[in-house]
Amino acid sequence: MSTESLALALLIAPLVGSFLALVFFRRKHVIASGIVVASGLVSVIASAMLLFGAGHDVGAITARWFSIGDTPIEFGILLDGRTMIMGAVVALITLCIEVYSLSYMKHDEGRGRFFAFLALFAWSMLSFVYSSSLLQAFIFWELVGLASFFLIGFWYEKPSAVAAAKKAFIMTRIGDVGLFIGLILLFMTTGTLDIPAINTLFAGDGLPEGIAPGRIELIAALLFIGVIGKSAQFPLHTWLPDAMEGPTPVSALLHSATMVAAGVFLVTRFHGLFMNAQQTMEWMLWIAVGTAILSSTMAMVAKDMKRVLAFSSISQLGFMLMGLAAGSLFAGYFHLITHAFFKALLFLCAGAFIHHVGSNDLIAMGRAGAAKQMKLTTVALVIGGSALAGIPFLAGFFSKEQIIGSLPIGAKIGALFAAFLTAYYTFRMIFLIVRPNADSMAVEDEPAHAQHEDGHEHHGPAEPLAMLAPIILLAVGAAGAGYIGNWIGHKLHIEHIEHPSITEMAPAIVIAILGVVFAWLEFGRKGARQTGFVSKIPSMQTLFERRWYLDEIYNVVFVRPVVWFASLCIGAENKGFDNGADAVAHGTYKGGRMVARSHSGRLQFYIGSAIVVVAALALTLGFRNGGGAG
Amino acid sequence: MGDFPILTATLLCPALALLVTLLIPGRNGMAIKAANALCALLSVIFAAMIWVAYDRTVGGYQMLEVVPWVPTFGIDYRVAVDGVSVVLTMLTALVFFTGVLTMWTLETRVKEYFAFMAALVFGVFGVFFSLDIFAFFFFYEVAVLPMYPLIAVWGSTRKTYSAMKLTLYLMLGSALLFPGLIALFVYSGGQTWNLVEIAQSGAFSRETQIFLYPFLYVGFGILAGMFPFHGWSPTGHVAAPTAVSMLHAGVLMKLGAFGIFRIGMTVLPEGAEFWAPTFAVLATIGIVYGAFVAMRQTDFKYVIGFSSVSHMGIVLLGLNVWAMSRSDTAGLDGAVFQMFAHGIMTALFFSAVGFIYDQTHDRDIRHFGGLTSQVPVASSMFIVAALCGMGVPGFASFWAELLVFIAAIETFPVLGIAAIAGLIFTAAYVLRVLGKAMYGPRNPDWENLKDVTLWSVLPRAILVGVLLLFGFYPNLILDMIRSAGGGS
């Protein structure tokens, strides 16, 4: 098959799958899910054939789609290392999650719709990744947001799910406004939105002629605002923890290869441009470091397994952006890929436990003996968790080392601190599940019960094959993805990858092991109290649990003023415009009535008025004439 | 196509509908509906023929037909179309057709209803075709006047008040327009009402243009829902019956914007340029203000009504941006695209709400919940309209807004940024309605609602299809609009 037809097949399959499932087979669940899984398979095969078969950059396949003023805008499929690797990863992880959902969502009444939206999600994300124009990328960026809106709010009868979906959409849209303005400015500055053209323009050292440094800083900063929203960085990160209101497979997809990955991918896509905006990169670096630490503190005290993972996503996205901001395209991109594997894996494990135990609560999972009943899943959890914690020699270790190795010293200290916290909270999570003990002082928030997220009673095997197979596949990825670094670098055309020496790696290794040991002492060892050191300082515990009160602060600072202003507007509308218009109308009416009254038919009144008017006229004219004569 | 007078033929479709409706006895409602549906379908076909026949490579006014009307005063029946009117003709025909289908269940005074509606559409077509300013104004009034009886007789919620309010507002607009248009005639020598000749007469000094332009802009702008003269529009939308709301927001408001473009900006370019910053500010205020007011409304139709104020603000912003710097056509392209997209979208909105209202006689958002599970297809129509309203890509209005915003940022950066930021509040009010009524816990009162039948889904499906078609491939419509860009 030709490259073009492969690329088209890979993008169109999920769209067709989604359309058929949504419009025709919404109630025929088996057909709907079958179509979607098949379309996912097509994407995986086609993207893999492109990645391994093409072997070299094909460039872009484009067609004129639109024009702005007199400038034609071409849309197309861009095939270079960056898109083909990411595309294959997205397709693979999506397929894993679709297969997993076959079993996970088996009893849900809306699963036809669920699969349709999964395919829509996959289509949007794949199309975003392969976009050859920034405008096209923006379109699919928005559609990724839309698909996640539908999926987060999938159980739409739950008010909390609807609220979470709304929050996700609006918070990311705040970022999108920045991205949108940045896109327009970029177009005005360079006259093109073509990604290869822009990359060529900014490939060399120094700025292209005729472009002011301030302008590039501004554009980069605006694009970065979009990234902050999408990739859930401080201060727009608050939507992501709530987004776990969706079914767990959705979280797995949303946190790994789609949605949040889009933001980081955009930075890798325009890394050349960003590298010309040093000021913005400085900001990016520190926002990323801050976000990584901030979200880690929240993860340390969360009891909901999905929440712990959500906070860890925020922090890992921070790590990716740190690498990119420090100038290493490879480090950021590499971590994006490895993270996709182990985070999807962790969420699928979480889903399996939740499915089995009927509670999101880590402590409840441990006490229910989930680890003993689900041995394979537990092994996978430990692999995924170790990869997240940066334990040698799993996937996350290699990519995180690359990032830390690329950082300047100040940021490096922050990153190491975040890495320590990561190891600590990850193994806290693992030990709480794997090593429950009788001396534990931990309090569970939500007891185990035989009910599933969607409320149905759970029966059947703890580890059905459809759920286990994707978990095993992803576990292999989480264990092994670290060894393909050189190949990725080659595909990205990075000539020389600097592998940190063992002395440079030592601090991060020590830090990670320290974190694990610390977690062991508090949660893992026999007779551990399982409460954590944070609980010794109640105010800090509350601060972390309430997520630094950011939601409350936003509520006071932004939401309430907006609502207040809306009320003001509505007051102006009703009292001002409406009543004003009514008053004018009534006034006219009354005026008319008054004038009408003067038409009384009484001759005396008419004559009297006539005399008054004539006299007034005569006097005025007389004065005028008199003045003229005198 | 030869010499077939296609524009006159299109214009005669609603006239024929009117005539047949008057001839069929009122008790035979089905025949009236069928006749109207046929005439409307015919107008869609003619509109498609115009679309195909229009030569985009040449551009300008085409398919000209001239018949002297009142020669003494230089008034002609002079019709022709450019790319903009081709697009708007298609919009009108589509909304006419789907509007007739939507009112299929009407039982009260069927005959009168369809007669007024046909008259309204007749006027609208006339406005889009006329190149004679007098005829333009004549058709304009024909289109506007049936609104009063349509709302006052078949409406709901404070219908007499709303009908009166609407009429007074629109009369105010006409009161501004009438002297303005007569002034155009007089200043240009008092020989002709021909728009093209008047525009080329060079009779208007800069001062005259600056003096006259606000009469035309505000006069037409009132019908376009221009802030701060928008008050009639949400009230009117709410009170009007479904198909009238569809026509009203879908087509009639476009007449105002079209008038500004066709007469105001064509004849008085310098006046338009002088006033553009002022009116652009008002348009931007309208965009943001409409969104904020919509955020706190509880009636479905009020939300849509204020969303119209907000979306028409985008049209007006685009037009003013174009008036400011005509070398860049993006503003005009976007404005006309938005007229089309908003027309289809609002028609779909009102049609979807009308479907729910017909069964429940309730439009309070708070009284609903989980409609998606109760009437999945009907609510998905509403959701599609809502997504389009939010400017989600894949639907027509995304492109329209994109073009306007790009042009606005180049010409009026601050206004452009404010308008784009308005997207956040648009998302807020749209998602609020979706979250409350379409999602959330279902309201047990409405468990027995019937979902759409195949027949009643047809008009809505057509509208959805159009939104998606132009949403996926905008060039179809953009080429057409662009061919008119140099029309002045």
pLDDT tens per residue across span A154-180 = 888 888 888 899 889 998 999 999 999
Structure-block tokens of residue B353: 């709400």
Cβ distance of B439 and A156 shorter than 8 Å: yes
Phi, psi of A59 (to 5 degrees): 95, -155
Q: Using an 8 Å Cβ cutoff, are A335 and A399 in contact?
A: yes
Contact between chains at B409 and A153 (C-beta distance less than 8 A): no
Give B303 to chain A, closest Cα distance, Å. Answer: 12
Question: Rounded to whole angstroms, how far apart are CA atoms B353 and B350?
Answer: 5
Residue of A24, A68, A117 to mutate, testing the B interface (most B Cβ within 10 Å of its Cβ) = A68
- Cis omega (within 30 of 0) for bond into A561: no
Number of other residues whose CB lies within 10 A of the CB of residue B130: 27
> What backbone phi and psi angles, to 5 degrees, belong to B296?
-110, 10
Q: What is the ipTM of this complex?
A: 0.88
Vertex A108 angle, CA A106 and A109, to 5°: 125
Q: Which residues contact A363 (CB under 8 A, 6 or more apart)?
A: A303, A432, A436, A440, A442, A443, A444, A445, A530
Which two tokens mark A255?
Answer: 């946190």
Q: pLDDT value at position A625?
A: 63
Q: Which of B293, B332, B398 to mutate to test the interface with A (most CBs of A within 10 A)?
A: B293
B296 contacts in chain A (CB < 8 Å): 563, 566-567, 569-570
Phi, psi dihedrals of residue A72, rounded to the nearest 5°: -70, 145
Name the pLDDT band for A628 (thresholds 50, 70, 90): very low
Q: Is A115 exposed, middle or buried (0-12, 13-18, 19+ CB in 10 A)?
A: buried
Mutate to test the interface with A, among B56, B434, B480, B482 (most CBs of A within 10 A): B434
Please state the φ and ψ torsions of residue A601, each to the nearest 5 degrees: 85, 5
Compute the distance between CA of residue B414 and CA of residue B395 in angstroms, rounded to an integer: 26
Cβ A36 vs Cβ A120: under 8 Å: no
Q: Give A303 or A207, the one with higher predicted confidence.
A: A303
Residue B2 confidence (pLDDT): 54
3 state DSSP class of B130: strand
Paired tokens of B398: 């995304």
Number of alpha helices (DSSP H) and beta strands (DSSP E) in chain A: 28, 2
Of residues B232, B293, B392, nearest to A142 (C-beta): B392
**Cβ contact (<8 Å) for B424 and A156?**
no
Task: Give the CA dihedral A138, A142, A144, A147, nearest 10 degrees.
Answer: -160
Question: If pLDDT is split at 50, 70 and 90, which confidence band does A419 have?
Answer: very high
Residue in this structure with the two tokens 């600072």, named with its chain if needed: A557
- Chain A residue with CA closest to B384: the answer is A146
State how far the Cα of A62 lies from the Cα of A511, in Å rounded to an integer.
48
Residue A629 confidence class, pLDDT cut points 50, 70, 90: very low
If you average pLDDT over every residue of chain A, what do you get? 86
Task: Tell if the pTM clears 0.95, that is, is over it.
Answer: no
The answer to whether the CB atoms of B387 and A146 lie below 8 A apart is yes
Neighbour-count burial for A444-463, b at 16+ CB within 10 Å, e otherwise: beeebeeebbbeeebeeebb
Q: Nearest residue of A to residue B475 by CA position?
A: A66
Asked if the model's pLDDT at residue A630 lies above 50, the reply is no
Tally Cβ neighbours within 10 Å of residue B12. Answer: 19
pLDDT at B1 (0 to 100): 46
Min Cα–Cα distance to chain A from B185, Å: 31
Q: Which residues of B touch A157 (CB under 8 A)?
A: 370, 373, 439-442
Are A383 and A478 in contact by the 8 Å Cβ rule? The answer is yes
DSSP B240: S
Let me know: does A407 contact A456? Beta carbons within 8 Å. no
Q: Is the Cβ–Cβ distance between B151 and B159 less than 8 Å?
A: yes
Instruction: Kindly indicate the confidence band of residue A458, based on its pLDDT and cuts at 50, 70 and 90.
Output: low
Sign of the alpha-carbon torsion through A47, A51, A52, A58: positive
Instruction: Please state, in angstroms and rounded to a whole number, the distance separating the CA atoms of residues B146 and B252.
Output: 11
CA distance A562 to chain B (A): 8
For residues B396 and A504, the model is more confident at B396
Do residues A468 and A355 lie in contact, with contact meaning Cβ atoms separated by under 8 Å? no
Please check whether residue A371 is in contact with residue A434, taking contact to mean a CB–CB distance below 8 angstroms: yes
Q: Using the beta-carbon criterion (under 8 Å), do A181 and B409 form an inter-chain contact?
A: yes
Task: Among B295, B328, B398, select the one facing A69 at the smallest CB separation.
Answer: B328
Separation between Cα atoms, residue A80 and residue B280, nearest integer Å: 43
Q: Is the pLDDT of residue A509 over 80?
A: yes
In a mutational test of the B interface, the residue from A64, A65, A67 whose CB has the highest number of chain B CBs within 10 Å is A67
pLDDT at residue B41, rounded to an integer: 93
Q: Which is nearest to A297 in space by CA: A237, A256, A379?
A: A237
Q: CA-nearest residue of chain A to B369?
A: A157
pLDDT over threshold 70, residue A295: yes
DSSP one-letter code for A537: S
pLDDT mean for each 10 residues of chain B (488 residues) = 79 91 85 90 93 86 87 86 91 91 82 88 93 91 86 81 85 89 86 85 86 92 88 84 84 91 90 92 92 86 89 93 87 92 90 85 82 84 90 89 91 91 89 85 80 82 90 86 60
- C-alpha closest to that of A308 among A187, A445, A486, A212: A445
B427:A180 CB<8 A: no
Which pLDDT value is given to residue A117? Answer: 92
C-alpha of A435 from chain center: 33
DSSP symbol at A533: G
